[in-house]
Amino acid sequence: MDISNSSQKNNSDSISKTSQNQAQGLLKGTVFIDNKPAPGTKIAVKGISDSFLTDSNGVFSIKAEVGDTLLVTNVESRTMKMVPVERISYTTVLLEGNIVELDEVILVEKRQEEALELVNTGYASYDRNRLGYAVATISDDDVSAIETTGGDAIRNKVAGVNVDRQGYTGAPGGLAKTEIRGRNSINMDSNALIVVDGIPLKRSSTETNMTTGATSSTIENFSMIDPGNIKNVTVLKGLAATNQWGSEGANGVILITTKTGGGTSGNTGGNKKVDRARLKNNIYEESEEWNGENDSPILKALSSTTAIEEAYDTYLTLRNYNSEDPTFYLDAFSYFQNRDKKLASRIISNLLESNPDSIEVLRTVAMALATVNDYDSEIKVNQQLLSNVPNEVNAHLNNALALVESGGPQKGLDALIAMEKGTKNASLSTSGISKTLNREIKNLLYRHAGKVNISNVDSKFHGNIKYKARLVFEWNRPGAEFELQFVNPQNRFFKWRHTTNDLGERIGSEIQDNYRIEEFEFAGDVLGKWVFNAQSLEDLSDKSTVPLLLKCTIYTDFGYPSQQKEEILLHFNKNGEKRMFKTLQVN
């Protein structure tokens, strides 16, 4: 039996079935309470006695017509909401627990009034439009979790600001040797003044003996500034700096506001705040808890075979007893992934055949197919996913990238540009992935220069970006909770926690706008050995639920002729499971 053809047939049948369901008014969607799928939530159409409960993934399906109102109720969480039906398409319903609300929520775009943009000048904050001079600002959104020093957080982000590259984590230099508008003094310090939470730091100094011409330097150490604790940065130049800071600001001023606001001075009295900017307790010690491999019984059974044919026969036998378990297919896929990509593609297609209408399965299969370079099948699955969820941002992005890899760079470029311009789909919001989208367009133009028509491409995409390494993470479950850990060459680790407690507002936006992606780039002094770990913080007790998947795309020498790409797919079988998934040498 040709499983690939069977999968294609099932895909076509499912697409036709979906169109028919939409014509009949079958409304599908997912309910989230406090950013987590809400099983057992009651769904009813106002005025009709029949009601339905969401499944273990919070998914529901109910007959409805445009103009109806859904009553969404969860007694356990003491919450309810009325949602008007404006179109028959996949619907996401977000609720907060322990808050009973009767207001109707209409899912239409509303133009927000333009908010004042306040700029910190060191002593006060002013409306940017009324400031009277130009200032440059950097927000925490511009600071990647992979940046390990304060200098990395600012370098190459503001024109005319030159941050020394000698500094690395724990060493003098870097931010402590920063020049704005170049050196403007022969015998005086030319470094910018660094101010953290209103406290000026002692500057590095360079003195020149005018008789002998000899110079002596004292380089300060600002390694206590944690880029992950930076809330925003304001760069003052020229008159803007001297007006506020006098002669001390003659070389420019860099104002850093931290999230904790604890200051950076050593002795501040008895009420000193705990400040994440002081690097402590983050020395990485490799532990057996960070497993490199999944230790499931399925993998052990497959690993006990001596030939690929024997392993596949074992898979077919085991499938008779595990056909309804998504984790079984993922375990088998991970075994064959690096041994036989065609068999791996066939196995993950079997998961889709057994669950052709599951949105989570479609997302999972599409992610897996990309890692074995089966781009044609990935495109078909993404198209099926989009027929069910038209505003699925990840599916649009991955479909465009798959078109590029399958030999159609022009089609891929057109799809990416349509996403960026907002002409792809009226309900598609790409604001959450704008950084990733812009970089993919720039990189495509660089890699396929001369092979694509760029007459309609905005000039802002014509210059490529270069990084020693770039990591793009994607996950399959909206609202998924996990932690990423990055260990730098100095053996210090930095965490990015994707949880409601840490990133509740962002996760709510991800669920509402249907995107699940984040990326980290290596800028600055990052040479050496890096270790990447991941931990699931999910409840995986329900075997019928698709487990958490993380896909990591690692680009080395990104934007250079020597650019390479590697894709890693992780799935987690246990709650709290820790995986060390990559050791990377950055040269």
Complete DSSP assignment for 21-84: HHHTTEEEEEEEETTEE-TT-EEEETT---EEE--TTSEEEEE--TT-EEEEEETTTTEEEEEE
Residue 575 pLDDT greater than 90, yes or no: no
Specify the higher pLDDT residue, 226 or 285: 226
For residues 345 and 340, give the distance between their C-alpha atoms in angstroms, rounded to a whole number.
9
Quote the tokens at residue 317: 């036998």
The whole-number pLDDT of residue 96 equals 84
pLDDT at position 396 over 70: yes
* Distinct helix (H) and strand (E) counts, the chain: 13, 28
Q: State which amino acid sits at residue 17.
A: K
Count of CA atoms in the C-beta half-sphere (13 A) of 57: 21
| Mean pLDDT, rounded, for 568-585 | 90
| pLDDT number for residue 11 | 42
Q: Could you tell me the two tokens for 350? A: 């079997």
Tens digit of pLDDT for each residue in 46-80?
A: 888 888 899 888 899 999 888 888 999 988 878 88
Q: Torsion-angle region of residue 246: left (phi > 0), alpha (psi -120 to 50) or beta? A: left
Gap between the Cα atoms of 383 and 396, Å rounded: 9
Q: Is the pLDDT of residue 22 over 50?
A: no
CA distance 236 to 525: 25
Length of the chain: 587
Q: Which residue did the predictor score with more confidence, 277 or 377?
A: 377
pLDDT at 397 over 60: yes
pLDDT at 497: 92
Place of tokens 């028509």: 453
What is 163-175 written as a DSSP string?
E-S---TTSS-GG
> Can you give the pLDDT at residue 560?
92
Q: Would you put residue 263 in left (φ > 0), alpha (ψ -120 to 50) or beta?
A: left
The fraction of the chain above a pLDDT of 70, given in percent, is: 77
Residue 546: closest CA among 478, 474, 472? 478
What percentage of the chain reaches a pLDDT higher than 90? Answer: 37
The residues near 216 (Cβ < 8 Å, ≥ 6 apart) are: 206, 207
- Sequence-ordered alpha helix ranges (H) in 98-172: 150-154
Say what the pLDDT of residue 109 is: 44
- Can you read off the two tokens belonging to residue 205? 């100094």
Domains and CATH numbers, the chain: 23-104 (2.60.40.1120), 118-207+217-258 (2.170.130.10)
Mean pLDDT lowest for which of 336-350, 379-393, 443-457, 534-548?
534-548
Torsion sign, CA atoms 460, 461, 463, 468: positive
Instruction: Print burial letters for 496-509: b (CB count within 10 Å at least 16), e (below 16).
Output: bebeeeebeeebbb
> Has residue 380 got a pLDDT over 80?
yes
pTM of the full structure: 0.66
| 557 or 117, higher pLDDT | 557
pLDDT value at residue 7: 42
As given in the structure block, the two tokens for residue 183 are 């050196």
With cut-offs at 50, 70 and 90, classify the pLDDT of residue 485: very high
**Mean of pLDDT values over 33-47:** 88
Q: What is the pLDDT of residue 571?
A: 93
Cβ-proximal residues to 429 (8 Å cutoff; 6+ apart), any chain: 391, 393, 513, 514, 515
C-alpha count within 13 angstroms, C-beta hemisphere, residue 200 = 16
221 compared with 358, residue with greater pLDDT: 358
* Per-residue model confidence as pLDDT tens digits over 316-345: 999 999 988 999 999 999 999 999 999 999
Least reliable range by pLDDT among 111-115, 357-361, 382-386: 111-115
* Per-residue tokens: 493: 């680790």
pLDDT in tens, 175-217: 888 888 644 444 456 788 888 887 888 888 766 554 565 666 7
Cβ pair 570, 371 in contact under 8 A: no
| Backbone phi, psi, residue 80, to 5° | -155, 160
Q: d(Cα 225, Cα 87) in Å, to the nearest integer?
A: 50
Specify whether the CB–CB gap between 219 and 143 falls below 8 A. no
Please check the confidence at residue 119 and state whether its pLDDT lies above 50: yes
CB 410 within 8 A of CB 456: no
pLDDT per position as a tens digit, 532-563: 999 999 876 655 578 999 999 999 999 999 99
- The answer, yes or no, to whether residue 122 has pLDDT greater than 50, is yes
Is the pLDDT confidence value at 470 over 80? yes
Mean pLDDT, all residues of the chain: 80
